[in-house]
Amino acid sequence: MQYVAIYDTTLRDGTQREGISLSVADKIRITKLLDELGVAYIEGGWPGSNPKDAAYFDQVQELDLKHAKIAAFGSTRRKLINPEDDANLQALVDANTPVVTVVGKTSMLHVTDVLQTTPDENLNMIRDSLAYLKSLGKEVIYDAEHFFDGAKLDMEYGFDTLAAAAEGGADTIVLCDTNGGSMPWEIADFVMKARELFPEMKFGIHTHNDGEVAVANSLSAVKAGVVHIQGTINGYGERCGNANLCSIIPDLQLKMDVDCLPEGGNLDTITRLSRVVAEIANLAPDDHLPYVGKSAFAHKGGIHVAAMRRNVDSYQHIDPALVGNEMRVLVSDLSGRGNLLSKAEELGLDVSKDEAVQVLNDIKELENEGFVFEGAEASVAVRLRRARSNYEPLFKLVDFTVIVEDRLRRGQLSEAMVKLDIDGDIVHTAAEGNGPVNALDLALRKAILPKYPALRDIQLVDYKVRILDSESATGAMTRVLIDSYNGSERWSTVGAGTDIIRASWLALVDSVEYGLTIALEGEESPAIAGD
């Protein structure tokens, strides 16, 4: 198999994404996860740019990494100065990493307008910087910044900069599509040209996603002969992001027969890695990322699910377990009978085809009224249980009343009265609360708790309201989503209607019934939406 080294720059280029700031502890934790996956290089930061990156390079020395080499990043020496006198290069040396990555200018636009130096001096800056670092025993990677744009402006000079890097002793030259505007066929043409001119040199690729083709450009470069790919977890990076390693790595391993993880690397950890890095970065995981997203193997259409019940490969391009992900079946008004049967199997419920059709028809009608069950799978679960012939409700509503007052000198008062039939006994309770929904919740709990003490462990942890037809003003259809938690599992339920109190009651009853049912059955229930 062809081998391509994976160079992760999440800790440096990834942190240039708007809204990301990682502490030293965050960077150390991500380093361990990347090493567990099996990447070849981890670029820790720019030690000359800030104290935090310098501190990272001190602390990372204490890690016992199994696969990855740590790389420090910096630029070529400044113009008209010796390498040993350049503060940036000295910071690279002081980082004490086995690998250093040096970025230099390829584009004449940057040489004259940004560096404000001569073309010859820029070549000297590249050559001298790399030679100095090589003399200190470092593995040197050269990032040819703006290579593709620069070569389009002045091809001869673009390749002259690569020659200077080769003369300086670069171990690998990385061709960078820094502005992210190149197309896959352009990438392939320039990579092949570079390999023809420098047949002994190892080449890499670094792409950005401004044209939405960063992954495609990286894979195109591999087909053209690069042996080194730079990218970030989840595609984090400046502007539109960098090439997404969470797509590139499985593409290489599973689609292109290209090995990019060493023996002992763990492709099946990449989904967890993606989600943990998102959490560390304080960003919501992108459910729709290929391979690693929660929705990457989620099936909603009834025809699709029916086909997959016959052959699981009919609507999946790989086994989700290969990347540590899982298949999910969604239930909605687009579902068929197979969706409900699959969901029942997932929940460990024995449901007949007729019962599944009954629940399906109920859900289709309810979604037409404003319910949405995709993000409220506990509400699906309780409906499947209610459809079974041997179903016995834990309690039945007789009636409830909610009073909300706001009186002079007395202030605001919310009170709920609930009357339930519990095993033939009529239980009538009342409670005051912080608003009408809280009062309903407290009154319901007061009625049920003596019979079902497991209710003490069930807590409402989130409450969301969405107005579905705002043009109806105060008479609008309202959807309520409730998230609940029992200490080990989190689940979501839904209610809807023009009466926000009744919509809340429907979601609340589903939540309590679901939580009590799994507690009474003593089951380890499958993960529910919101987990």
What's the CA gap between 519 and 394, in Å, rounded? 12
What's the CA gap between 168 and 197, in Å, rounded? 16
398: helix, strand or coil: strand
For the chain, the farthest-separated pair of C-alpha atoms sits apart, in whole angstroms, at: 93
Q: List the chain residues with pLDDT less than 70.
A: 1, 264, 300-310, 329-338, 340-341, 343-345, 347-349, 375, 409, 470, 474, 522-531
What's the CA gap between 338 and 331, in Å, rounded? 10
Length of the chain: 531
pLDDT, residue 347, reads 65
What's the CA gap between 55 and 44, in Å, rounded? 10
Which tokens hold the place of 530? Answer: 């919101």
Question: Looking at domain 2-265, which CATH architecture does it have?
Answer: Alpha-Beta Barrel (3.20)
What is the H or E stretch that residue 184 is in?
helix 184-197
* pLDDT tens column, 434-492: 889 999 999 999 999 999 999 999 888 888 888 877 677 767 788 888 899 988 888 88
pLDDT, residue 193, reads 97
Return the residue matching tokens 């599973």. 254
pLDDT, residue 336, reads 66
Which CATH number does 395-451 carry? 3.30.160
CB of 334 within 8 A of CB of 302?
yes
Mean confidence (pLDDT) of the chain:
88
The domain limits of the chain are 2-265, 298-386, 395-451
Helices within 374-488 (DSSP H only):
377-386, 436-448
Shortest CA distance to 448 belongs to which of 473, 475, 467, 425?
A: 425
Return the residue matching tokens 């940004």. 114
Q: Say which residues have a Cβ less than 8 Å from residue 203's Cβ, sequence separation at least 6.
A: 172, 173, 174, 175, 191, 194, 195, 225, 226, 227, 228
Q: Say which residues have a Cβ less than 8 Å from residue 330's Cβ, sequence separation at least 6.
A: 298, 299, 300, 339, 374
User: What percent of the chain lies above the pLDDT cut of 70?
Assistant: 91
Burial of 19 (0-12, 13-18, 19+ CB in 10 A): exposed
What is the H or E stretch that residue 196 is in?
helix 184-197
What's the CA gap between 432 and 317, in Å, rounded? 54
What's the CA gap between 216 and 125, in Å, rounded? 32
55: helix, strand or coil: helix
Which tokens hold the place of 483? Answer: 């998230």
Shortest CA distance to 365 belongs to which of 389, 323, 332, 393?
A: 332
**Region for residue 235 given its phi and psi (left: phi exceeds 0; alpha: psi -120 to 50; beta: otherwise):** left
State phi, psi for 405 to the nearest 5 degrees. Answer: -125, 150
* pLDDT tens column, 51-98: 899 999 999 999 999 999 999 999 999 999 999 999 999 999 999 999
* pLDDT tens column, 42-62: 999 999 788 899 999 999 999
CB of 357 within 8 A of CB of 303?
no
Annotate 257-285 with b (16+ C-beta within 10 A) or e (fewer).
ebebbeeebebebbbbbbbbbbebbeeeb
Q: Give how far Cα 105 sits from Cα of 10, 243, 440, Å.
A: 22, 21, 66
pLDDT, residue 328, reads 73
CA angle 438, 440, 441 (to 5 degrees): 65
pLDDT, residue 352, reads 72
